[in-house]
Structure 1
Amino acid sequence: MAYKYVRIAGNRRQVGLALGKLARPIMGTYLDQSGTWSALRPWRGHPFVDDLAQQAQAAMPQIWEELEGLAEGLRMPVSDVLLWHCRGDLLHSTTDGCTSVAMRAADGSRWIGHNEDGDPFLYGRCHLVDVALDDAPGYLSFYYPGSLPGHTFAANRAGLVQTINNLRTRQRHAGVPRMFLARAVLDCTTLDEAVTLLREQPHAGGFHHLLGAAGDARVLSAEVTPGSVSIQEVGRRYGHANHMVHAATSGQAQLVTDSSRARQNRIEGLVDGWLPESTHADMLAALLDTQGKLPILRTAKDDPDDENTLATAMFEITDEAVVLRVYDRKARADIALDVMSDPE
């Protein structure tokens, strides 16, 4: 399978340190080949980045401690690791794609599915990390080397599920970096707590958060951008790619790539065709769809956004449990995990 399952436990700094050590062998090569890193380097020492650091430290000291541990494990300066975490706040376009989809099944279960699209270099080089923290619920998350978990697909031991879609907003505001906010959601224990966090914190960049939780019938779509937060409850079916589509936010200045537009149109067409008796198999088929020149499942070497699908996740959410299944470009799951049960 195209990722490795790893368990990590400890306090904030210890977890960050372990994540850094996990990524250290490939981090230099990863950054050297990354056009995003090349575009970020001129921001070194910029006062705006210093402001983002201050906002992150003040609002989320525990997660800042994880970042410091991550930098130690990577053997990189904290300033460079912070800069890497601010890539979507500083640049209008980064190699973070993704498509998310949701369904309410006839039996009352909620399903959230997600294609994690990113730098093709990362295919086969990511991890599924199972993290136990001393002071928070702990979580399962797809882990990009050198990036705090939370900005991909994840669920925590409290039963909260989150998938993230990159939004290429053209705004740049002082605030908490978006990757810190996404990581902080994984410390929340309820949907309401996550919504409060997203509404109350100042945002430096833009993400779409698709949220669900065990024991809560709602599935929420949140488009979170500098100066704006739009949250909608999802109906029976839903799909979202990489640009703002909510009425409250879609008029904001943003970069909509041809791939994002094509995937949004295709996923909307697919979910609109679902019947009341449609199941999670239809969701998975949508995420593995290869129709068109710019398909939902992205494997092309010449992808115009320089992104490929790194993994596909399906979360089954019921009143008492969350089950995560992860797929590698095929309809058979590589792994299935009961998220709310402690690992043996």
Structure 2
Amino acid sequence: MTDVTIREQSIAGIDWLVVSGPRNDAIRALGEHTRDSIAAVQDAMPERAGLQRFTSTDKGRAALAAVTDASAADQPGPLADLRALAEGSGQDFEALLLANFRGDLGYDDGTGCSDLAWSRESAFIAHNEDGAPGLDGHFRFVTLLLDGEQPVTAQWYPGFLPSNAWAINAAGLAWGINHVQVAHPSVAAGRHYVARGLQGAKSLEDAVAYLREHPIAGGFTFTIGESGTGRSVTVESAAGQIATRTPTAESPLMWHTNHLRFLPTEIDSPASQSLDQATSHLGLYDESVDRGRVLDNLALPAGEPDVAWFTELMCDNPIPCGGVHRTAEGDDPLTTLCTTIVDLHAGRVHLRSPHGTSSIAVADFANGLG
């Protein structure tokens, strides 16, 4: 791996790794470089024991085999990435594979994250990455400068593919991703693997076409913005189905949390699940609906919003005080690890975490130029 380099830097108080070289060697080196964090994140994963129990049943084994085969056929590159990550980190590949399928098997997968898109005279997308407090210090950014491929920077939980939270690529596309709990997954590729392939998109149309051509077993929503043009789109992809919506002059604000808004509700509602699943999922579904209600009832600015308007909503006001910031207080197990606001016309990314704030040009961020 002599052609691989890993540069360490930080942004908004969050560690940022810039990895360069041939794809397989670079991903293996990333695994080796973050070996301790990968082990810690895997050990702290609350779904781990339940997933292992589920996939020891006939139903679980069948679901895992179906999504594994579909991912191998549709997304061989991302699947090879995960194998290289496992080899570098010394982790068992099957264990990482199961973790990266956790939302594609019909097994309960929690909640978290909020997204906004605004497009009128000004244009923004904004994402709150909500995670367990214990992940603070392991959660980071990673830039992949892989030979012959388009550069991309992603928020990353070590041990997972760098594709399940937020990303920005050298084409100027930026997007946030939200988990959606699917009751009955389709036979299709895993959502993390399809999301990894999305990073090669060159335009907003290209991104939507890719997601239409590559359905996923579980559920993700993608809030995608295009730097320069200011255009944005929200894509729901769940159980093999796709729905898209774009902001309009009359309704310039689009939002998403962790429940479906456009696809049929039987895909993700607790009522569509078995009694045990519905009981465990109900509180999580309601929590997402609560955040959605806040966003649906926002008092929109008289003119155009600015970065400060998004910051107040995403960072300064927790539920139920008029915002969607999470603090891991009371019954809430999650905290907002990072807020990312992209001014699409200005071509700048604004970041805020519990450890600092930063602002950086879209192109510089995508290419790892901190």
TM-score using structure 2 length: 0.83
- Matched residue type, 2:340: A
1:113-152 correspondence runs (5 A): 113-152=126-165
Change (3 A) 1:75 1:143: same
Instruction: Give the fraction of aligned pairs with identical amino acids, expressed as a percent.
Output: 26
The answer for the alignment partner of 2:6 in structure 1 is none
Which of 253, 274, 281 aligns to 1:237? It is: 253
The reply to whether residue 104 of structure 1 matches residue 119 of structure 2 is yes
The reply to whether residue 19 of structure 1 matches residue 30 of structure 2 is yes
Report the secondary structure of 1:90's partner residue. coil
Q: How far is 1:38 from its partner?
A: 1.1
The answer for the alignment partner of 1:31 in structure 2 is 42
1:230-309 correspondence runs (5 A): 230-235=243-248, 236-246=252-262, 248-255=263-270, 257-270=285-298, 272-288=299-315, 289-292=317-320, 296-304=324-332, 306-309=333-336
Report the secondary structure of 1:231's partner residue. strand
The answer for the alignment partner of 2:88 in structure 1 is 73
The reply to whether residue 337 of structure 1 matches residue 353 of structure 2 is no
- Alpha-carbon contact 1:12-1:65 (below 8 Å) kept: no
- Alpha-carbon contact 1:2-1:123 (below 8 Å) kept: no
The reply to whether residue 323 of structure 1 matches residue 323 of structure 2 is no
The answer for the alignment partner of 2:277 in structure 1 is none
Q: How far is 1:200 from its partner?
A: 1.6
Structure 2: distance between partners of 1:237 and 1:324: 19
The reply to whether residue 56 of structure 1 matches residue 71 of structure 2 is yes
Report the secondary structure of 1:335's partner residue. strand
State the Cα RMSD in Å: 2.3
Number of residues of Structure 1 aligned to a counterpart in Structure 2: 335
Q: How far is 1:126 from its partner?
A: 1.1
The answer for the alignment partner of 2:273 in structure 1 is none
Unpaired runs of 5+ residues, structure 2, are 1-11, 271-283
Cα deviation code 1:57-90 (max 9, x no counterpart): 2212222221111111221222211111001112
Cα deviation code 1:90-113 (max 9, x no counterpart): 24432441001122263x4x2111
- Alpha-carbon contact 1:267-1:286 (below 8 Å) kept: no
Q: How far is 1:329 from its partner?
A: 4.4
- Alpha-carbon contact 1:2-1:311 (below 8 Å) kept: no
The reply to whether residue 4 of structure 1 matches residue 32 of structure 2 is no
- Alpha-carbon contact 1:203-1:224 (below 8 Å) kept: yes
- Matched residue type, 1:51: A
TM-score using structure 1 length: 0.89
- Alpha-carbon contact 1:159-1:213 (below 8 Å) kept: yes
Change (3 A) 1:95 1:12: farther
Change (3 A) 1:329 1:26: closer
Structure 1: distance between partners of 2:256 and 2:368: 32
Structure 2: distance between partners of 1:90 and 1:126: 24
Structure 2: distance between partners of 1:276 and 1:162: 24
Structure 1: distance between partners of 2:137 and 2:322: 22
- Matched residue type, 1:103: W
Structure 1: distance between partners of 2:165 and 2:29: 19
Report the secondary structure of 2:349's partner residue. strand
1:155-170 correspondence runs (5 A): 155-170=168-183
After TM superposition, the structure 1 stretch with the greater mean CA deviation from structure 2, 195-204 or 224-233, is 195-204
Q: How far is 1:300 from its partner?
A: 2.1
- Alpha-carbon contact 1:175-1:202 (below 8 Å) kept: yes
Unpaired runs of 5+ residues, structure 1, are none
Report the secondary structure of 2:161's partner residue. coil
- Matched residue type, 2:73: A
Structure 1: distance between partners of 2:306 and 2:208: 28
Change (3 A) 1:93 1:48: closer
Report the secondary structure of 2:267's partner residue. coil
Which of 72, 77, 98 aligns to 1:83? It is: 98
